[in-house]
Structure 1
Amino acid sequence: MTRLIGVLTVKHLLILTSALLIACNNDAAEPVQKSADPAPVADTFLAQVQADYPVTLSPVAEGVWVHTTNYRLPGQSPIPVNGMVVVDGEDVILLDGAWGELATVSLLEKIRAETGKPVTKMIVTHHHADRTAGVDAAEREGIEVFTHPTTPMLAARAGWPAPNTSVAALEAPQARILVGRVEVAYPGHGHASDNLIAYLPAEKILYAGCAVRGAGSETLGNVEDADLPKWRDSLLWTKATYPETQTVVPGHGKGANLSLIDATIALIDDATTNAD
C-alpha cells in the first residue's frame, strides 16, 4: 500500500479513498440509488476535505499571501500555523505547507482557486512536523521542494515525512540562495538546527517562520531543538542583513515588523538568565 500511494497523485488518492468510503458505507442488501446528476467522487471528497481543513489566505502585497490553518490537539485550543504564498510569473512558490497531509491538500486547492495556478515550488523551513507534515502531498503533485540539507535526515529521524530533496548551498550559516524572486537564507542554528528564513526584497517582507515568535508571545514555545545563544546570534544576523524589512511573518501567531525579532531576543535573554 505504501508503494502504491507513493506513485498516486493527490487526485488519484482522493478518488480511491472516496470510493472505499462509499463502498464501506453502502448497505449491500439495498440497491444504490443513482442521482440524476451525481457529482464526481473526487470533487465531492475534496470539497469535504476543504470543509474539514479550512484555509485562510490573507493578502499582504500584490501576488503575496499569508496562509493560515489550525492544527487541533485533543483538549487544547487550535494552534494557528502560518506560511506564505508568492506568485512569481508562471510559478507559485509556497513557503511551508499546512500541519498535516489533508490540510496541505486543502491548502493547495485553495491556492489554485485564488491564483488560477498550481503551486510549483515549495520551501520547507525546518524539519518539525508543523513544516514537513504535508510534504508528501506536495511531492505527489510534482512540486519542487527546497530545504536545508539536514532537514530530510532530521525529519526522518524524528518520524515525520521527509522531503526528497534539499539544497547543499544552504548548509553553511549565513548562506543565501534565490528561489525565483524569493531569497532563502540559513541564518544558523536557532529554533531548530536547520531553520531557514525567506525574504521578498520588492515587498520588504521577511518570512521568519518559527525563528521568531508571534506578536504578544510570552514564551519561546518548543525549544527542544533550540540552541539559545546561537538562536540569538542568528536573529541579530537576520536583522542586520534585512534592515529594510517592513513586515515580519512568524510561523505561529500575528505578524508585525522587526520588533518581532527584538521581542524574540528578549525572550531568549530571559530564558538564558533563568537557566543560569
Structure 2
Amino acid sequence: MRLLTVFFLLIVHPGFAPAQPKTKPKLQVTPLNDRVLVHTTYGMYQNESVPSNGLIIKTDDGVVLVDTGWDTDGNTDNSRQLLQWVADNLRQPVRLCIVTHAHGDRVGGIREMRKAGIRVVSTPLTAQNSVKQGYDAPDAILPNDTTFTIGKEPIRCYFPGEGHTSDNIVVWLPNQRILHGGCFVKSVAAFGMGFLGDANLKEWGNSIRRVKKQFGTAKTVVPGHEEWSDTRSLDHTLRLLEKHAAAQK
C-alpha cells in the first residue's frame, strides 16, 4: 500500500520525491602547480556537507601533508582515501603531516596517519587541545615560528596569534608563494564566520594583520573551507569579522 501511495504522489505531483539521505562527496585533489596540490575532504556541519582543504606538497624526498582528512568519531575513511590517492598517483612515501589546529577537520585522521607510519607534528598547544577534544595527540615539536626543509622545499609554520582557535597556525611555502591559512582564513566565497565555539574574536583581526604583513606576497591563499584565491581572502576575513562585531552590538 505504501508503494502505491508513493507512486500516486509521483504521478499527481511530479516534483515530489522521497527524501534521500545526505551523503558526503568523496576526496577531491586539485593541483595548484606541479609541486603543490589541494586535498579536499568533506564533513557534515549543521546537516550540510562542507568541504575541508589541506595541502599535498611534493618534494624531492617524499610528500608532506598539511592537515589530515576531515574525520570524526573514530572514522578515518577520508584520511585513508587521501593516503591511498597519494600512493596510487604520486608513488612517493608520505614523510610528514603538519596539523594546523585541534579540530576534527585538521587532526581527525591522526590515527590513520600513524597506522601508515607517518609522523604527525604540531605546536605544543595543538597537541594539548587535541587530547582535550578527544583526538590523538600529534608530536608537539613545532615552535611558534619555524622553517624547515624537506626535499629542497622550505616550509614555514607560523603562529600569528589567536583567531579561529587559540592554537591556529598557517603554513607558508616561500618557493611557491602559497599560504595555507586553514580555518583561520575565510574563503572569499564565505558569507559568515562559521564555527566560533573556540574563537577569539577580539584578537582574530590583529592576527590576520600579522599574516598580511608576513605573507602579503602570496599568490595563492588556501582557506580551510571552500574556494581559494589570493590575499583578498585575508581582507575578506577582516570584513567578516567587522560585520560580525557590528551585528553583536
Deviation, 1:53, is: 6.9
Whichever residue aligns with residue 227 of structure 2, its letter is: K
Check conservation: 1:151, 1:194, Cα contact below 8 A.
Answer: yes
Segments of structure 2 that go 5 or more residues without pairing to the other structure are 1-23
> Matches of residues 150-161 of structure 1 in structure 2 within 5 Å?
150-161=125-136
Check conservation: 1:169, 1:177, Cα contact below 8 A.
Answer: no
Equivalent residue, structure 2, for 1:10: none
> Is residue 2:205 matched to residue 1:232?
yes
CA-to-partner distance for each residue in 1:220-264, whole Å, 9 max, x for gaps? 101111111211111100011012101110110000110000000
Equivalent residue, structure 2, for 1:89: 60
Check conservation: 2:146, 2:158, Cα contact below 8 A.
Answer: yes
Equivalent residue, structure 1, for 2:43: 71
Deviation, 1:157, is: 1.2
Equivalent residue, structure 2, for 1:185: 158
2:190 aligns to what SS in structure 1? coil
In the alignment, the residues of structure 2 paired with residue 202 and residue 159 of structure 1 have an alpha-carbon distance, to the nearest angstrom, of 36
Q: Normalized per residue, which structure has more helix?
A: 1
Segments of structure 1 that go 5 or more residues without pairing to the other structure are 1-51
Equivalent residue, structure 1, for 2:86: 111
Deviation, 1:267, is: 0.8
In the alignment, the residues of structure 2 paired with residue 268 and residue 219 of structure 1 have an alpha-carbon distance, to the nearest angstrom, of 9
Equivalent residue, structure 2, for 1:149: 124
> Is residue 2:143 matched to residue 1:169?
yes
Check conservation: 2:121, 2:142, Cα contact below 8 A.
Answer: no
> Is residue 2:243 matched to residue 1:267?
no
1:130 aligns to what SS in structure 2? helix
In the alignment, the residues of structure 1 paired with residue 179 and residue 232 of structure 2 have an alpha-carbon distance, to the nearest angstrom, of 12
Equivalent residue, structure 2, for 1:200: 173
Deviation, 1:105, is: 0.7
Equivalent residue, structure 2, for 1:43: none
Equivalent residue, structure 1, for 2:218: 245
In the alignment, the residues of structure 2 paired with residue 168 and residue 56 of structure 1 have an alpha-carbon distance, to the nearest angstrom, of 28
Deviation, 1:176, is: 3.0
Deviation, 1:203, is: 1.3
Check conservation: 2:187, 2:236, Cα contact below 8 A.
Answer: no
Equivalent residue, structure 2, for 1:99: 70
The total of aligned residue pairs comes to: 219
1:61 aligns to what SS in structure 2? coil
Deviation, 1:178, is: 2.4
> With structure 1 as the length reference, what TM-score do the two structures score?
0.75
Check conservation: 2:125, 2:167, Cα contact below 8 A.
Answer: yes
In the alignment, the residues of structure 2 paired with residue 208 and residue 237 of structure 1 have an alpha-carbon distance, to the nearest angstrom, of 12
CA-to-partner distance for each residue in 1:62-106, whole Å, 9 max, x for gaps? 121001112246x83311111000011122100001111121011
Query: Which of 111, 117, 134 is matched with 1:136 structurally?
Result: 111
Query: Which of 98, 103, 120 is matched with 2:95 structurally?
Result: 120
Deviation, 1:122, is: 0.3
Check conservation: 2:40, 2:51, Cα contact below 8 A.
Answer: yes
In the alignment, the residues of structure 2 paired with residue 146 and residue 233 of structure 1 have an alpha-carbon distance, to the nearest angstrom, of 26
> With structure 2 as the length reference, what TM-score do the two structures score?
0.83
Query: Percent same amino acid at aligned positions?
Result: 29
2:225 aligns to what SS in structure 1? coil
Check conservation: 1:81, 1:253, Cα contact below 8 A.
Answer: yes
In the alignment, the residues of structure 1 paired with residue 189 and residue 180 of structure 2 have an alpha-carbon distance, to the nearest angstrom, of 17
Root-mean-square deviation (CA), in Å? 1.6
> Is residue 2:27 matched to residue 1:55?
yes
